[in-house]
Structure 1
């Protein structure tokens, strides 16, 4: 049963990732939610992928603080808004 669940999550991850990539080109589709859902699906599909993701610097810098309800620093908020305004 776990094998079928893992396969379904991998398939959903690739579909969501594909829609997210299409959203980069087509401005009608939102990119962020599809990439986040793809990451969730891939991490849920395999313990190895989840452990790898939790070991990345991105996870340690951004996700851990949000999961611990510490939020983002002022510097991060400014940087994100500057990038957003630039695009």
Structure 2
């Protein structure tokens, strides 16, 4: 079972890293999923992820406060708007745009309603 958790964590982390450059693929949920998987399989990988300069503070902020830093919220919302704008520019069918808009509004609402976390957090 340990191998399944490690593989799942690795896949989640890879998807999170891809999400940095792909507008429709979110980064933070996949990094959080990777931390969850690594916590159940590899203290070394979990510790590495928690100590990571970029991802560590986000993971700790979520684990301790169920919070998303304000800067991460801004980037997420801007990425969602850019993805919707790209879809409009590409002239996708209205049905696709409608589904995309609903999903983005739901996810945007979830993100914006999370607390920012303690002052000075990442």
User: Scaled by the length of structure 1, what TM-score is found?
Assistant: 0.56
Partner of 1:20: 16
SS of the equivalent of 1:24 reads coil
RMSD: 3.1
Deviation at 1:34, TM superposition (A): 0.4
Partner of 1:44: 40
Q: Distance in 2 between matches of 1:28 and 1:37?
A: 17
1:30 is the counterpart of 2:26:
yes
1:8 is the counterpart of 2:4:
yes
Q: Distance in 2 between matches of 1:30 and 1:17?
A: 11
Deviation at 1:27, TM superposition (A): 1.1
Bigger fraction of residues in helix = 1
Aligned pairs, how many? 68
Deviation at 1:47, TM superposition (A): 4.8
Gap regions ≥5 residues in structure 1: none
SS of the equivalent of 1:21 reads helix
Gap regions ≥5 residues in structure 2: 79-122
SS of the equivalent of 2:19 reads helix
Describe the shift of the 1:49–1:25 C-alpha distance in structure 2 as closer, same or farther (beyond 3 A). closer
